[in-house]
Structure 1
Amino acid sequence: MNTPTLTPTPPSASTPISAPTLIGIAQNGPVLHLRLNSSAQDDTLSAAVLDELIGVLDSLHERPDIRILVLSSMGDDFCLGADRREYQEALTLDPTGATLRRIADRAHRLCQALENTHAITIARLHGKVIGAGLALAAYCDLRAGADTCRFRMPEVGVGLAPAWGGAMGRLIAEAGAARIRELMLTCDVFDAGTALRLGLLHKVAPLDQLDDTVAAWTRPLARRSPEALVLTKRMLTGYAKAARTADIALLDSHLLTAQLIPHRGGD
């Protein structure tokens, strides 16, 4: 995978960014790069990874100097989705489902943090972008993907309703109810060209040109008025939320847990 060589620059604010161990992090001026899939983890979103991503995003409240966040991956794929093995282990250790609900609530908190951070967020996608990985990308403001990307929403195929991070409403808002309905029900794999037509990608490029494509966004964004960027992002987010007649995202953790806990019967 072709990734840019970053020279971290000293932060211009006094509040340091938390130092994660499961994700890569580097600052290049006003641009913060976060990379999934370090050598210490696989290609899924575990609870520990969610916590580290949330920690970084929370720290940005005190870092107005960081104006752009680029989310990418160091692995062969951007993300293969949620860690379903961790879900089963959580239920084995805590059959009440409380632990699993806490993991699912972290996913919702992460997606809300991406949506609400002042920084303009950019998803740099390559390889497979599956389930929760697609949900995570959908919450970024801008998305660029390699022309070899493959996308899938597999939840129905493994016996689950899509309930990760409250992403269904976001996906429908970005790509339209009819096509998201089809892709969720069929679990079909779709390519970068289809994602571009749906609005799930804004730009598609060959993998070796993907960094230049992202830089074509970050360079002008870094020159924009910080206040104008923040206000515009908040206006866009507000109008998007206002267009949703209902938001049941807070139920996602309960929906997920209810599906995985064996039914015990009773009156």
Structure 2
Amino acid sequence: MTEPTPASSPVSTPVTAAIPAPEPVRTVPKAILIERDGPVLHVRLNPWGQDDTLDAAVLDDLITLLDDLHERPGVRVLTLSSLGTDFCLGADRGEYQEALTADPSGVGLRRIADKAHRLCQALESTHAVTIARLHGRVIGAGLALAAFCDLRAGADTSRFRMPEVGMGLPPAWGGAMGRLVSEAGASRIRELMLTCDVFDAGTAHRIGLLHRTAPLEQLDSVIDSWTRPLVRRSPEALVLTKRMLAGYARADRTADVSLLDSHLLAASLHQQAAG
């Protein structure tokens, strides 16, 4: 029997195996719902019935998610939809006003606008093929967000609008004007931006803002018809094709001033408040 160690004697520290470093802790989303189904990631806005707007919490969660995708090459397709009555009613104007009240210099306002730009660029450049599933109303920033997805399907009852000019603002959210013009053409986008008219899913399909339309109850089948073959494609071929298409689209823009859009938006809101 081993004698007990005297109280005055030092107790040796046991030698243990090295503990592996923990995996990075990912931020728990607060404003979006994320579900993974093998190589497909489903992202849903408005999971708890909040307003159907793109506030800073939504922007933060989406940016974190897209940044995280760099470490998840197994995700081949990302679908973006909403659990709300509408896909998205645009940016949160109330949040803009609160930011301007808290900081009249407009720095806080530009910070929110910069997040929108970062989000759209991350959505455009991610390796995953992105699919927007649209229903209800798709307005302003909501349409801009959808435009940065690779593929877009909408319910035949969807309604779209670009209301910014009617509100005294430039259509500058997320740097989307260049993307919208590239997707649908300058002539039609000019008309819709200047008139602020509501347009239906048929019109959105004709001008290229929607690739497919279907009755709402059949919309998931349309998304599946894209997703099933995409997950069988070569990952390298998909990534290279996306990059080539993005390169050709940017080449068509003789002067891409989208980096200034957050400043334009902040300046316009600041002027409205001052007036």
- What's the TM-score once normalised by structure 1's chain length? 0.92
Which of the numbers 20, 28, 31 marks the counterpart of 1:22? Answer: 31
Deviation >2 Å, runs of 4+: 14-19, 262-265
Distance in 1 (alpha carbons) for counterparts of 2:212 and 2:80: 15
Moved more, 38-47 or 20-29: 38-47
Which of the numbers 24, 30, 41 marks the counterpart of 1:32? Answer: 41
Tell me if the contact between 1:17 and 1:60 (Cα under 8 Å) persists in the aligned partners. no
Other-structure match for 1:251: 260
Tell me if the contact between 1:153 and 1:183 (Cα under 8 Å) persists in the aligned partners. yes
Other-structure match for 2:220: 211
User: 1:159 and 1:238, CA in 2 relative to 1: closer, same or farther beyond 3 A?
Assistant: same
Distance in 1 (alpha carbons) for counterparts of 2:137 and 2:237: 34
SS of residue matched to 1:71: strand
SS of residue matched to 1:115: helix
Matches within 5 A, 1:87-236: 87-236=96-245
Structure 2: runs of 5 or more not aligned: 1-22
Other-structure match for 1:70: 79
SS of residue matched to 1:35: strand
User: 1:182 and 1:263, CA in 2 relative to 1: closer, same or farther beyond 3 A?
Assistant: closer
SS of residue matched to 1:50: helix
Tell me if the contact between 1:126 and 1:149 (Cα under 8 Å) persists in the aligned partners. yes
Larger Rg: 2
Distance in 1 (alpha carbons) for counterparts of 2:64 and 2:97: 25
For this pair of structures, how many residues does the alignment match?
252
- 1:48 and 2:57 equivalent? yes
Q: Give a deviation string over 1:109-142, Cα, whole Å, max 9, x none.
A: 0000000000000000000000000000000000
Q: Tell me the CA shift for residue 15 of structure 1.
A: 6.6
Structure 1: runs of 5 or more not aligned: 1-13
Q: Tell me the CA shift for residue 19 of structure 1.
A: 2.8
User: 1:189 and 1:96, CA in 2 relative to 1: closer, same or farther beyond 3 A?
Assistant: same
- What's the TM-score once normalised by structure 2's chain length? 0.89
Moved more, 103-112 or 247-256: 247-256
Distance in 2 (alpha carbons) for counterparts of 1:214 and 1:66: 16
Tell me if the contact between 1:33 and 1:71 (Cα under 8 Å) persists in the aligned partners. yes
- Give the percent of matched residue pairs that are identical in Structure 1 and Structure 2: 74
Q: Name the amino acid aligned to 1:148.
A: T
Distance in 2 (alpha carbons) for counterparts of 1:185 and 1:17: 42
Distance in 2 (alpha carbons) for counterparts of 1:177 and 1:47: 30
* Superposition RMSD in Å: 1.5
